Amino acid sequence: EAAVTQSPRNKVTVTGGNVTLSCRQTNSHNYMYWYRQDTGHGLRLIHYSYGAGNLQIGDVPDGYKATRTTQEDFFLLLELASPSQTSLYFCASSGNTLYFGAGTRLSVL
């Protein structure tokens, strides 16, 4: 069974704060993704990667950085968090389909 684990599950920060969301997959997949989910917008791709050290820009990358340190680990960084980044964030990896983690709910006050 494909496994994608995200941490933390919930995070609250203040405007201007520094946040790192973590994702680990044990599927040996090359591709990993970060999405955000907002009501009325569905899931929108922030960044993705096809291997350690690689980073590709998605559809809504502004205000986000990401880093893929290993095959298993993909991090999303918000260096100056803003209230518009309050959202539900999902990490995923892909084999013949996308496998999603359980999500991280981020609130920026």
Partner 1 sequence: GDSVTQKQGQVTLSEDDFLFINCTYSTTTYPTLFWYVQYPGQGPQLLLKVTTANNKGISRGFEATYDKGTTSFHLQKASVQESDSAVYFCALVLSSGSWQLIFGSGTQLTVMP
Q: How many residues bind partner 1 (CB under 8 A)?
A: 21
Q: What are the residues whose beta carbons fall under 8 Å from the beta carbon of 84, sequence distance 6 or more? A: 63, 108
Q: Closer to partner 1 at the Cβ: 6 or 85?
A: 6
45 binds partner 1 (CB under 8 A): yes
| Residue 4 engages partner 1 in binding (rule: CB under 8 A) | yes
**Residue 71 binds partner 1 (CB under 8 A):** no
Residue 48 interacts with partner 1 (CB under 8 A): yes or no: yes
Residue 60, interface with partner 1 (CB under 8 A)?
no
Task: List residues binding partner 1 (CB under 8 A).
Answer: 4, 31, 40-45, 48, 50, 56, 58, 90, 92, 94, 97-98, 100-103
